[in-house]
Structure 1
Amino acid sequence: MKTLLFVLLWISMTFSVSANDGYKLWLDYQPIEDANLKIQASQLFSGIYFFGESPTYDVIRKELQIAAPKLVGSAPQFKTERLAETQVWLGKREELSQVLGLQQQTELRQLGEEGYWRGTIDFQGKTYYAIIGNRPIGVLYGVFDWLKSIQTETFDPKLEKSDSPKVKLRMLNHWDNLDRTVERGYAGFSIWDWHKLPGYIDPRYIDYARANASIGINAVSLTNVNANARILTTDFMKKAKVLADLFRPYGIKVFLTARFSAPIEIGGLKTADPLDPEVIAFWKKKTDEMYSFIPDFGGYLVKANSEGQPGPHEYQRNHAEGANLLADALAPHGGVLIWRAFVYSHELDEDRHKHANLEFEPLDGKFRENVIIQVKNGAIDFMPREPFHPLFGAMDSTNLGMEFQITQEYLGQATQLVYLAPMWEEVFRSKTYRPTPAATVAGIVDGTDSGQKLTLVAGVSNIGTDRNWTGHLMAQSNWYAFGRMAWNPELSSEEIADEWVKMTFGQKPEPLAKIKEILLESREAAVNYMMPLGLHHIMGWDHHYGPGPWVTGGRPDWTSLYYHQADSLGIGFDRTASGSDALGQYAPEIVEAWSDPTQIPEKYLLWFHHLPWDFKLPSGRTLWDEIGLHYDAGVKSARQIQANWNSLESEIDPERFDHVRQLLAIQVQEAEWWRNSCLLYFETFAKRPFPAEIEKPTGDLEEYKSRKFPTAPGIRPKW
């Protein structure tokens, strides 16, 4: 009997210890190791008073109830009397106006609806720590920032901090289909269970909202831009309402993708012509119905006349006429229409790099005030490295928003560790020289340089049903970094990496330093072994997994040969005035510098120039040798990243360590695959020996070319 009891006890203990599978993200709230900070935090958690009531204050209470026991080992104490042993005051500016000075109130007012201030307040001989916003959501953001300072052990009660977002809409774009598949998704299926909604609410939805609010994301588009019109039916409105109600206390608005042909598909009309009175009436009625279910509905996101999606061109109308149709339906409700600039047509015999500018520049100033044109960071399609999109700086009278891709469609998907913040930082800090000589992409997007008031940074979500949310545990850093950079495009990738590592893995110096190094080196490593010196769009067909520089057939601009243009003379795409002249869409300062292959940044060299294999670079090496060295350097960096991680085995819990260890082993193999297959392929044109300094590529080119991946995740559905 005793033996049986012991076995049962052992089994119970075994199953009560949950593995660290990454589900808790950066909100794990690991115990504070700094003794003084733990005492300070414990004191503050011992007396918390809310000025007023709000659903958002309720979620703050819940968050503190999660955080405090983990951080300091005791539950927070909420007080009902303001001056009875309180330590922390939480509330809106109006609620605390009696204890705030005029200067403090003025400073707070300037922070806007989502801004916050936190610091100490002296009142009636006692000092309180206060977190104050102009609205409850500002208080929530301030509380998350306070908790982050405790997690990262940077909290100092003597310091004041005020902050507010530089961008109005900070949005996740889910490319989730109604059948729960996810286009370009690598972390399982869609978290939205449309079949069970509205009756069943998955607790995961709340954890999703918590995570987004903690990094300042305030909008989500729930459905794929390759839209299904059924999402706009009454049945699905009831389902979307449940999510909107759950997200509202966290400051998150719901957007939906609108299929342009919906008047035909669900409205029974014979046309979707944006100037047709019946079509106009359909969208007005449909939008009014949407707001009857979701009073704070954010608006629509639209992909039109791109990759087979319907749009205004079928009716000889332009993008402005199409966008304004929906914008007018949304305007009475304060809604926003987001219209994607990712358009290219096989009927237009121009370099694909030029298509968006050719279609949108002539329409500058013709879009309604509540329209945002959502522009990808580069003109091709989320490549590992692209020069910034030439639309930024080319439209002075139109709201332009940024679209990044958090999911790693072209960057190893869920098998590779690639920290994307350095890419986004590179784009944001790029000088456009328009509308002013000092203008940057960040300044255009956040309105500093463009003057626009309606601003947007959107990111294609990397979230799915995998327990760790993102497929690859380390890809959580990209979700985190996106939110932080959308809040403030001026933040550095290093600063964000430091925060995420501390919040996810703790404060130990060696793991902190090595994981930061891994993150900050990973993107450049991937660029080197995938697409060095500006080579681009040389990945596998359709699934975009792995190398495919030999891909041809079908639409030219869906092939690799269209982009690298390798031949016996050289390699690269001539986009100067002697070629497609896509470079001419940028400011004159950029055109002048980048037209010269000896002056252009080497990272963009083959993006804009077709050069001989023996072209001499500043290093003194030939182009062929430099390409080989970059590919090889990428492989060596991947191996070093793997070695750095493996050295941390004793410092990281076994579940997370082994997860990343296995995937890094795959990444090294894939880096070698990229290097070997690409160099063997390009050598058939260059007819030159491989550089003596590199590890010679191995394998058989024909075998590499024959590889098929019918089960690769994220394959685009056949519409």
Structure 2
Amino acid sequence: MKNLLIIVFSFCLSFSGFAKDGYELWLDYRPIENASLKSEADRLFSGFYFFGESPTYEAIRKELEISGQKFLGKDPGFSSERLSQTQVWMGTQEELSQVLGLDQQMQIRALGEDGYWRGPIDFQGKTYYAIIGNRPVGVLYGVFDWLKSIQTETFDPKLEKSDSPKVKLRMLNHWDNLDRTVERGYAGFSIWDWHKLPGYIDPRYIDYARANASLGINAVSLTNVNANARILTTDFMKKAKVLADIFRPYGIRVFLTARFSAPIEIGKLKTADPLDPGVIDFWKKKTDEMYSFIPDFGGFLVKANSEGQPGPHEYQRNHAEGANLLADALAPHGGILIWRAFVYSHELDEDRHKHANLEFEPLDGKFRDNVIIQVKNGAIDFMPREPFHPLFGAMKNTNLGIEFQITQEYLGQATQLVFLAPMWEEVLRSKTYRPNPSSTVAGIIDGSDSGQKLTLMAGVSNIGTDRNWTGHPMAQSNWYAFGRQAWNPDLTSEEIAAEWVKMTFGQNPGVNSKINEMLLSSHEAAVNYMMPLGLHHIMGWDHHYGPGPWVTGGRPDWTALYYHQADSLGIGFDRTASGSNALGQYAPELAKEWSDPKLIPEQYLLWFHHLPWDFELKSGRTLWDEIGLHYDAGVKSARKMQETWSSLESEIDPQRFDHVRQLLAIQVSEAEWWRNSCLLYFQTFAKRPFPKEIEKPEGDLEYFKSLSFPTAPGIRPRW
């Protein structure tokens, strides 16, 4: 028995070196197999020289040690002398000013504080490879990009490359609670162990910082927007300081969510009125204290007067007065106040689609310069597909940032493969026609169209304590895609998918082609089997898991019937001038085109129109038949992904292959569940047979309606 245990233990140790559990993310740095690339990398890794000293340079050294061991099986060489055996020079353009020409210095300086340049430099008869930034963090970004070029086998030592981010703040929003639960989280508990902080530093915090820095993510909000005021107490400031100190060398600034009622809850005041002198003093002193612990504290993120969260409306004040209160406290320290535009009130008898514009558009120009209004990509709530939010382009004198959801609250959660880059790309490239006819959402948020200097792209994190970070191994691609699109909103989904697949699964073209195909088809598949043709908000109650087009009760705008409005005549939400006129909040060019059901992109058809079941679509089929065909196509696409993955069994490491295989089986089952239950339900109104081309829905509608999921992850905590 003893010998058996030894054998089993030895096997586990040896196997652990080969098993892929997803912890390393896209920073796998697998051994280089290309002979010429390996030779070149071996030469360059033999001698690195840093032109200065900083904590960020130490972080780079550690990354080079990790990558050198994995790429080449050896430690890299570091030189203390610039002209000895060095091969790669690293530093800022100021530190390298003696070896750079004036034109080259100006070229690099124009890249901004986070930009970098890398390429060959000739000096005193020898050629060096250099990675240069305007700050050490720019060098860090350049190093990660160089390592990526080795991973993807695209590195050419003769080529120059320069790059800089188009968005200033590239932020992850964690919806993590202080008890380590994660609202709408599907990958375990929060990675922030507040109980053990500040005394214990989990090594995972450093790996988290490495992963974010490799993407250029430079800000993180640690706590849930449904905020707990305790995070602003001195005890928690000491804990947050530890995380800020860890993240700082990686160029990441810490933000915290501020509960608007904190002056009452932890300040013992009787009011949180933003114009009250005592409240103003509370926020000033509290902010000063925060900066005494974290000198580069980023600022506050606030959700106010939304879904029960306190805000300025309780005191008959508006959002600008509420935001400016905190912005003024942050301004002396260079801090930023991010105020979410996700507001809707049951007291306002208007289409929920319209609420944010009704509240914020009249306040345009009344917010402080250090305020950013964080606007969700669509006007409802991270639906599988939404037209872009009408606030983009509607506020010309206010900083606007965009908020995407990386965690898949409405897109299958952690049981489904849904690559989100195509959805985000669709939004970013949407034309707003304001402030000029060629303006896009990307141009609004990166400042190229809006002219704003303070820019933001935020993503609701899908990270948790699961060993692979994101629950579903393939959901790592969405963390990756968010970082890449935040750096450059003009990148295509194809480019991003190709990078991630190569960095995660290696260089086999046949394997990569199949995985790319799965990724790039997955979003449209999910839209088809969940909410096609503009249907939205028909998911299960509270937990948002699975279909629930029959959901009624409580607030109307929390029910499915409010949105799909199916009846014997037809289906869809009329948001034209004859209905809620939400289309009137868009530019006139869009409002005119989208008001015509024959001209509007059919992907948004039922979002803006209530149409008869027999309405003829561009295909020549009726609306009822087209709905059925979309649902069925989604199921068939899910099955195709399953088949594609199965064909890779001999090419993918067993642990990841089996993990994804099991989840894809769940996804197919859930796709069928969505199709069957939704079509059976909508047929009760349409009173028409299913299209002959589709696989007929099976099951009993009453059974589907009876299902409950009390243990579904991500349910919103009740206080």
Query: Taking structure 2 as the reference length, what is the TM-score of the superposition?
Result: 0.99
Between the aligned partners of 2:700 and 2:455, the Cα distance in structure 1 is 50
1:461 matched to 2:464? The reply is: no
Residue in 2 that maps onto 1:305? 305
Secondary structure of 1:537's aligned partner: coil
Q: Which residue is equivalent to 2:194?
A: 194
1:64 aligned residue: 64
1:471-508 CA-to-partner distances (Å, cap 9, x unmatched) read 00000000000000000000001100000000000000
Which stretch shows the higher mean deviation, 11-20 or 233-242?
A: 11-20
C-alpha distance in structure 2 between counterparts of 1:416 and 1:4, whole Å:
43
Inter-partner Cα distance in structure 1 for 2:73 and 2:63: 15
The separation in 1 between residues aligned to 2:461 and 2:611, in whole angstroms, is 37
| CA deviation after TM superposition for structure 1 residue 13, in Å | 4.0
Q: Which residue of 2 aligns with 1:31?
A: 31
Partner SS, residue 579 of structure 2: coil
Give SS of 1:256's match.
Answer: strand
Partner residue of 1:318?
A: 318
Instruction: Give secondary structure in 2 for the equivalent of 1:91.
Output: strand
Give me the identity figure in percent.
Answer: 85
Partner of 2:12: 14
Q: Offset at 1:11?
A: 3.0
Question: Partner residue of 1:136?
Answer: 136
Matches of 2:69 and 2:315 in 1, distance apart? 61
Equivalent AA in structure 2 for residue 377 of structure 1: N
In the TM superposition, residue 15 of structure 1 has moved relative to its aligned partner by 2.2
* Matching of residues 643-658 of structure 1 within 5 Å: 643-658=643-658
- The within-5 A match list for 1:318-717 is 318-717=318-717
Displacement of 1:40: 0.5
- Cα offset, 1:12, TM superposition: 2.1
Distance change >3 Å, CA 668–CA 5, structure 1 → 2:
closer
SS at match of 1:120: strand
| Secondary structure of the structure 2 residue equivalent to 1:17 | helix
How far apart in 1 are the matches of 2:323 and 2:8?
63
Distance across 2 between alignment mates of 1:275 and 1:9: 71
Question: In structure 2, what is the Cα distance between the partners aligned to 1:388 and 1:453?
Answer: 22
- What residue in structure 1 maps to residue 88 of structure 2? 88
Distance in 2, matches of 1:334 and 1:6, equals 63
Aligned to 1:264: 264
Letter of the 1:35 counterpart: A
Write the distance in 1 (CA, Å) between the matches of 2:5 and 2:607: 65
CA shift at 1:7, angstroms? Answer: 6.7
Question: Per-residue displacement from partner, 1:545-566 (whole Å, max 9, x unpaired)?
Answer: 0000000000000000000000
- Alignment partners' CA distance in 2, 1:259 and 1:623: 46
Shift of 1:510: 1.2
**Letter of the 2:67 counterpart:** A
The one-character-per-residue Cα deviations of 1:615-656 (angstroms, maximum 9, x if unpaired) are 001110000000000000000000000000010000000000
Structure 1 residue 293 corresponds to structure 2 residue 293: yes
Counterpart AA for 1:11: F
In structure 2, C-alpha distance between the alignment counterparts of 1:101 and 1:517, rounded to whole Å: 46
AA aligned to 1:692 is: K
Deviations 1:362-413 (A, max 9, x none): 0000000000000000000000000000000000000000000000000000
Alpha-carbon distance in structure 1 between the residues aligned to 2:13 and 2:126: 48
Unaligned 5+ segments in structure 1 are: none
Task: Give me the whole-angstrom Cα distance separating, in 2, the residues matched to 1:346 and 1:592.
Answer: 29
How far apart are 1:6 and its partner, in Å?
Answer: 8.8
1: distance between equivalents of 2:12 and 2:5?
A: 10
Q: Provide the residue aligned with 2:185 in structure 1.
A: 185
Whole-Å Cα distance in 2 between the matches of residues 210 and 313 of structure 1? 41
Could you report, residue by residue, the CA deviation over 1:511-569 in whole angstroms, capped at 9, with x for unpaired residues? 10000000000000000000000000000000000000000000000000000000000
Rate the CA distance shift 1:651–1:52 in 2: closer, same or farther, 3 A: same
Equivalent positions of 1:125-164 (< 5 A) are: 125-164=125-164
* 1:571-627 Cα deviation digits (max 9, x unpaired): 000000000000010001101110000000000000000000000011100000000
State how far apart, in whole Å, the 2-side matches of 1:301 and 1:688 are.
49
**SS of residue matched to 1:515:** helix
Query: What corresponds to 1:176 in structure 2?
Result: 176
Post-superposition Cα deviations, 1:282-338, rounded to whole Å, max 9, x if no partner, equal: 000000000000000000000000000000000000000000000000000000000
The residue type paired with residue 320 of structure 1 is: A
In structure 2, distance between residues paired with 1:692 and 1:150 = 52
Q: Report how far residue 17 of structure 1 moved.
A: 2.5
Q: Distance in 1 between matches of 2:216 and 2:15?
A: 32
Q: Distance in 2 between matches of 1:371 and 1:377?
A: 18
Deviation, 1:274, is 0.1
Q: Deviations over 1:211-263 (max 9, x none)?
A: 00000000000000000000000000000000000000000000000000000
Separation (CA, whole Å) in 2 of partners of 1:423 and 1:448: 21
TM, length-normalised to structure 1: 0.99
How far, CA to CA, are the matches of 2:3 and 2:543 in structure 1? 53
Residue type of the partner of 1:20? Answer: K
AA in 2 matched with 1:235? D
Q: Distance in 2 between matches of 1:14 and 1:631?
A: 45
Paired residue type of 2:111: L
Find the aligned partners of 2:433 and 2:253 in 1 and give their Cα distance: 34
Amino acid aligned to 2:82: R
Q: CA RMSD in A?
A: 0.9
Structure 1 Cα separation of the partners of residues 23 and 8 of structure 2: 25
- In structure 2, distance between residues paired with 1:69 and 1:694: 54
Compute the displacement of 1:436 (Å): 0.5
Q: Which amino acid aligns with 1:185?
A: G
- CA offset at residue 74 of structure 1? 1.9
Q: Which amino acid aligns with 2:190?
A: S
SS in 2 for 1:282: helix
Aligned-pair CA distance for 1:14: 2.9
Amino acid at match of 1:94: E
**1:346, CA displacement in angstroms?**
0.4
